[in-house]
């Protein structure tokens, strides 16, 4: 019996080799029909005997190309026409483009084989790619995704490349960045002064320079890296000095996982994440006694490691280095450099040489950073390899723009039931980062072919993102409270909409009452929220200075706990009498000492109290170090007190601080104190959730905010919450920190807009 079916497929199905895959599958199963790209994705009509058709349908759902993903697969019946051959038909044009662009990805196994095969015409060609791999988002200038709308427009294909491009049986059928040594981009080596360095083989020469201890600026996929040999201690130190980066860890890149496991203790799930086509930086536990320079990640138990993701990386690393430091090509706080002239101007004081190429980067994309806890990967920074993958929201709705917060900025645009969160942009206080923020909004609007009908922003009036939103004329503005946005971000990522308890623990965010929040128990959904409980307030002596100096926070908590007679802790001997007097005055007179319920500040204070970190050189450093020193297997904890009426409870940390100080005075070591503190925070979260559940009857909990990037806290609290009967939502593909705020804002704006439309 013959049948004919029509299949409509949506998702990431264009520019990823989907049509040749369908074509090959059809030939394998001996079915007739055709496939074409339309504005929404791919349409297939297929006919043949029922057994063959069943095999074909199974294969095109389960064996899809590595970069493809299917979000909709609709099947309908048609009368058979007797078609027995299968064809790829020309795309339907003239319609609005809805198909999605794929992220930039690694070098696939087939391309890697060709890269190292002396008989292949692309042997050692640094720009080899195919429909299953290579650059995408970073080179796209407009839609639809076709070569003229990418930076590959600068190169015209030679006859051999064009033949592959036109051949449905080729792995390079319609591979837009297709290139070879005869027709494609080339690498060049320059001196720090920008002069060409004569060499027949810039890559081999670069390897030699790296081995000699030189610092190279290397143009990659989404920007420049600064690279040095990670085993060369003197060079790593010199890079730190020139980059003006005292302590923040450098990322490493190794050729394969065999190399990685010689200096880290990577678990199977981490190995899988390292080797995935997204190729994020993965945080891995260091192995003692490795040959990697100790200055790569000072005071840190982890290395951030990635595997090669461009042919240039493969060629530099194979058989040459255990690991290269590959840190983003910028001075601290500046955005990663991605344009050649700009990169040379900015990096010439850091790099000795530049390994550059002539394929333009259209969009700056940093490396993504991921961490595995409880066997589950969670992104700390979502960028290359993940963007512009979208999130499916619970329902369809109007186009809205979420402009995010200020630190770790991202933006979010929605279209239909999809939400697209941009790559990591950075700290908007920096002017160049702000320019990058504006161009990202323009670019994503163009690529998604949308115009926002509303814009959502933070309550904070001084954020650059808030100012940007206020400059958008003619569309409604939705101010969104920071921690409500965190809650909504977690709901949206999990495609949930119901009323949920939000435990939102982070650094700082402006509250609805004008105070700075950050240790919050909220009850809410995408429309609105109530604040059911929070950590008690404390002053931040010096405002922003107290964020940079955990010792100030430690002093403020001590003063609030003990009053005039402070316990004789070593911390106090590290503060001068003048400093102590100044902090006291600021706090008692409320001078430049904004009140906060921040949980991040409490972590900072404890890090200073145990003698770990008085002043930080990057955000979140104190809390990270506190987590890393915690003793394993410690079960003790410190008490909290809870005050206030039934519906607004206030968690008093004074008993915790007293018990913690008693431990310190009794000589309990910092590792145990840290572990006990983490246990106490987990107990505080579970207790707070129980109170919220009693008040509301709600048992679904969302955990969000930067504090939840703490793996120890997560691993402690998750089983306890589940044992207590809660359903727990956490982040995985959206960062728990402010990188996720834009998604939450967009989800809230959509809910409010639809509520207005219903009125």
- What does each C-alpha distance from 12 to 17, 138, 384 come to in angstroms? 10, 16, 16
Rounded to whole angstroms, how far apart are CA atoms 191 and 536? 57
- The minimum distance between CB 733 and Fe ion, in angstroms, equals 18
Neighbours of 298 (CB within 10 A): 13
Interacting partner of 130 out of Fe ion, Zn ion, none (Cβ under 5 to 8 A depending on kind): Zn ion
Taking CB under 5 A as the binding criterion, the range among 86-94, 111-119, 233-241, 244-252 that sits at the site for Zn ion is 111-119
Binds Zn ion by CB under 5 A, chosen from 46, 115, 130, 450 = 130
Phi first, then psi, for residue 393 (nearest 5°) are -85, 170
Among 12, 52, 133, 692, binds Zn ion (CB under 5 A): 133
Residues 444-481 as b/e (b if ≥16 CB within 10 A, e otherwise) read bbebbebebbbbbbbbbeebbbbebbeebeeeeebbbb
Residues of span 734-753 touching Fe ion by CB under 5 A = 738
Instruction: List the one residue out of 705, 112, 634, 127 whose CA is nearest residue 407.
Output: 705
Min dist CB 363 to Zn ion, Å, is 21
Residue 366's binding partner, choosing from Zn ion, Fe ion, none, with beta-carbon cut-off 5 to 8 A by kind? none
Q: How far is the CB of 122 from Zn ion (least distance, A)?
A: 9
Which residues in 542-571 contact Fe ion (CB under 5 A)? none
Q: How far is CA 651 from CA 159, 520, 538, 647, in A?
A: 71, 10, 12, 13
Q: What DSSP state is assigned to residue 426?
A: B
**Residue 569 binds: one of Zn ion, Fe ion, none (C-beta under 5 to 8 A by kind):** none
Query: Could you say whether residue 161 binds Zn ion (CB under 5 A)?
Result: yes
CB of 151 to Zn ion, least distance (A): 16
CA-CA distance, 119 to 754, in Å (whole number)?
60
Q: Which does 138 bind (CB under 5 to 8 A by kind): Zn ion, Fe ion, none?
A: none
108 binds, among Fe ion, Zn ion, none (CB under 5 to 8 A by kind): Zn ion
Question: What's the min distance (Å) between Cβ of 159 and Zn ion?
Answer: 8
Q: Are 409 and 465 in contact (CB under 8 A)?
A: yes
Q: Indicate which of Zn ion, Fe ion, none lies near residue 180 (CB less than 5 to 8 Å, by partner kind).
A: Zn ion
In the bound state with Zn ion, the residue whose beta carbon lies nearer, of 17 and 519, is 17
- Per CB under 5 A, the segment of 56-64, 127-135, 531-539, 690-698 that binds Zn ion is 127-135
H or E element in which residue 34 lies: strand 32-37
183 binds Zn ion (CB under 5 A): yes
Residue 133's binding partner among Fe ion, Zn ion, none (Cβ under 5 to 8 angstroms by kind) is Zn ion
Report the site for Fe ion in 493-522 (rule: CB under 5 A): 506, 509
Number of H helices and E strands in the chain, helices first, is 23, 29
Which segments of 91-145 are extended strands (E)? none
Residue 134 or 519: the one with the smaller Cβ distance to Zn ion is 134
Contact stretch for Fe ion (CB under 5 A) within 26-34, 201-209, 676-684, 731-739: 731-739
Distance CA 728, CA 634 (A): 24
- Closest contact distance (angstroms) between CB of 155 and Zn ion is 8
Number of residues this chain uses to bind Zn ion (CB under 5 A): 10
- The one of Zn ion, Fe ion, none whose footprint includes residue 506, by CB under 5 to 8 A per kind, is Fe ion
Residue 604 found at the interface with Fe ion (CB under 5 A): no
Q: Does 102 bind Zn ion (CB under 5 A)?
A: no
Minimum CB distance to Zn ion, residue 182 (Å): 5
Q: CB-wise, 335 or 511, nearer to Fe ion?
A: 511
Helices 599-609/550-562 angle, 10° precision: 90
Closest listed residue to residue 155, CA positions, set 359, 356, 364, 357: 359
Ranges of beta strands (E only) in 603-714 are: 641-643, 649-652, 700-704
Is 158 among the residues that bind Zn ion (CB under 5 A)?
Answer: yes
Choosing among Zn ion, Fe ion, none, which partner's interface includes residue 336 (Cβ < 5 to 8 Å by kind)? none
Short-list 86, 10, 91, CA closest to 45: 86
Beta strand 224-229 with 302-306 is: unpaired
35, 143, 180, 296: which one binds Zn ion (CB under 5 A): 180
Q: Are strands 187-191 and 353-357 parallel, antiparallel or unpaired?
A: antiparallel
Q: Which partner from the list Fe ion, Zn ion, none does 738 bind, CB cut-off 5 to 8 Å by kind? A: Fe ion
Minimum CB distance to Fe ion, residue 336 (Å): 23
Residue 37: C-alpha distances to residues 16, 40, 64, 464 (Å)? 12, 8, 16, 40
Q: Which of 105, 132, 716, 730 binds Zn ion (CB under 5 A)?
A: 132
Query: Contacts with Fe ion: how many residues (CB under 5 A)?
Result: 3
Segment contacting Zn ion by CB under 5 A, of 93-101, 104-112, 495-503, 697-705: 104-112
Contact indicator for 456, 492 with CB cutoff of 8 Å: no
- Of 231 and 314, the one with the shorter C-beta distance to Zn ion is 314
Q: For residue 71, what are its two tokens?
A: 């979000």
**Which of 65, 71, 56, 58 is CA-nearest to residue 26?**
56
- Please say whether the beta carbons of 263 and 245 come within 8 A: no
Q: What's the residue count for the chain? A: 759
Question: CB 94 → Fe ion: shortest distance, Å?
Answer: 44
Q: Which does 183 bind (CB under 5 to 8 A by kind): Fe ion, Zn ion, none?
A: Zn ion
Rounded to a whole number of angstroms, the minimum distance from the CB of residue 107 to Zn ion is 6
Residue whose CB is less far from Fe ion, 177 or 509: 509
DSSP states of 502-534: EEEEEEEEE-TTSSEEEEEEEEE-SS-EEEEEE
Binding piece for Zn ion, criterion CB under 5 A, among 182-190, 212-220, 419-427, 553-561:
182-190
Q: How far is the CB of 130 from Zn ion (least distance, A)?
A: 3
List residues near Fe ion by CB under 5 A.
506, 509, 738
List residues near Zn ion by CB under 5 A.
108, 111, 130, 132-133, 158, 161, 180, 182-183
């Amino acid at each position: 019996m013959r049948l004919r079916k029509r299949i409509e497929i949506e998702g990431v199905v264009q520019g990823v080799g989907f049509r040749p895959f369908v074509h090959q599958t059809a030939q394998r199963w001996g079915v007739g029909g055709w496939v074409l790209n339309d504005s929404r994705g791919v349409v297939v009509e297929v006919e043949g005997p029922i057994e063959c058709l069943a095999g074909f349908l199974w294969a095109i759902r389960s064996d899809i190309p590595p970069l493809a993903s299917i979000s909709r697969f609709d099947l309908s019946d048609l009368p058979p026409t007797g078609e027995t051959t299968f064809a790829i038909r020309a795309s339907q044009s003239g319609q609005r483009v809805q198909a999605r662009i794929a992220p930039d990805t690694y070098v696939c196994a087939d391309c890697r084989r060709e890269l190292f095969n002396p008989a292949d015409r692309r042997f050692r060609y640094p720009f080899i790619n195919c429909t299953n791999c290579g650059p995408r988002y970073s080179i796209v200038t407009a839609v639809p995704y076709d070569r003229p709308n990418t930076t590959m427009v600068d190169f015209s294909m030679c006859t051999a490349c064009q033949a592959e491009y036109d051949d449905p049986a080729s792995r390079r059928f319609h591979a837009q960045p297709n290139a070879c040594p005869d027709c494609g981009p080339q690498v060049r080596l320059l001196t720090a002064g920008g002069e060409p360095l004569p060499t027949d083989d810039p890559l081999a020469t670069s390897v030699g320079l790296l081995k000699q201890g030189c610092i190279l600026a290397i143009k990659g996929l989404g920007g420049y890296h600064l690279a040095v040999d990670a085993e060369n201690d003197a060079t790593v130190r010199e890079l730190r000095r020139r980059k003006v980066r005292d302590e923040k860890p450098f990322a490493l890149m190794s050729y394969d996982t065999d190399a990685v496991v010689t200096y880290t203790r990577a678990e199977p799930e981490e190995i899988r994440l390292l080797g995935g086509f997204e190729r994020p930086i993965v945080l891995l536990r260091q192995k003692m006694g490795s040959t990697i320079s100790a200055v790569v990640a000072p005071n840190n138990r982890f290395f951030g490691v990635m595997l090669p993701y461009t042919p240039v990386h493969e060629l530099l690393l194979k058989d040459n280095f255990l690991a290269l430091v590959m840190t983003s090509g910028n001075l601290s706080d500046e955005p990663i450099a991605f344009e050649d002239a700009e990169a040379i101007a900015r990096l010439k004081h850091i790099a000795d040489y530049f390994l550059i190429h002539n394929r333009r980067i259209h969009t700056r994309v940093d490396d993504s950073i991921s961490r595995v806890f409880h066997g589950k990967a969670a992104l700390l920074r979502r960028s290359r390899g993940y963007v512009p993958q979208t999130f499916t929201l619970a329902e369809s709705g109007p186009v809205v723009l979420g402009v995010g917060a200020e630190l770790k900025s991202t933006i979010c645009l929605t279209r239909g039931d999809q939400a697209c969160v941009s790559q990591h942009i950075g700290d908007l206080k920096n002017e160049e980062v702000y320019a990058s923020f504006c161009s990202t909004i323009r670019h994503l609007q163009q690529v998604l072919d949308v115009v926002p009908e509303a814009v959502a922003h933070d309550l904070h009036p001084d954020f650059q993102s808030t100012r940007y939103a206020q400059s958008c004329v003619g569309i409604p503005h939705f101010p969104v409270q920071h921690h409500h946005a965190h809650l909504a971000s977690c709901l949206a990522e999990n495609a949930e909409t119901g009323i949920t308890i939000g435990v939102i623990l982070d650094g700082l965010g402006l509250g609805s009452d004008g105070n700075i929040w950050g240790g919050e128990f909220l009850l809410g959904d995408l429309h609105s929220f109530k604040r059911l409980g929070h950590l008690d307030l404390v002053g931040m002596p010096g405002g922003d200075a107290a964020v940079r100096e955990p010792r100030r926070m430690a002093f403020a908590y001590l003063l609030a706990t003990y009053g005039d007679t402070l316990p004789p802790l070593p911390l106090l001997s590290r503060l001068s009498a003048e400093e102590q007097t100044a902090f006291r005055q600021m706090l008692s007179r409320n001078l430049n000492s904004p009140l906060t319920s921040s949980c991040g500040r409490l972590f900072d204070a404890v890090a200073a109290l145990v003698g770990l970190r008085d002043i930080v050189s990057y955000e979140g450093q104190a809390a990270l170090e506190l987590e890393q020193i915690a003793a394993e297997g410690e079960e003790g904890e410190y008490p909290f007190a809870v005050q206030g009426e039934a519906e607004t409870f206030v968690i008093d940390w004074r008993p915790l601080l007293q018990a913690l100080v008693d431990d310190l005075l009794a000589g309990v070591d910092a590792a145990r104190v840290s572990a006990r503190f983490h246990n106490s925070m987990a107990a505080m979260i579970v207790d707070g959730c129980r109170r919220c559940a009693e008040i509301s009857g709600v048992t679904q909990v969302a955990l969000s905010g930067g504090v939840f990037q703490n793996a120890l806290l997560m691993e402690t609290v998750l089983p306890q919450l589940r044992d207590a009967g809660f359903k727990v939502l956490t982040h995985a593909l959206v960062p728990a920190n402010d990188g996720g705020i834009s998604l939450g804002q967009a989800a809230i704006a959509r809910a409010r807009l639809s509520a207005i439309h219903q009125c």
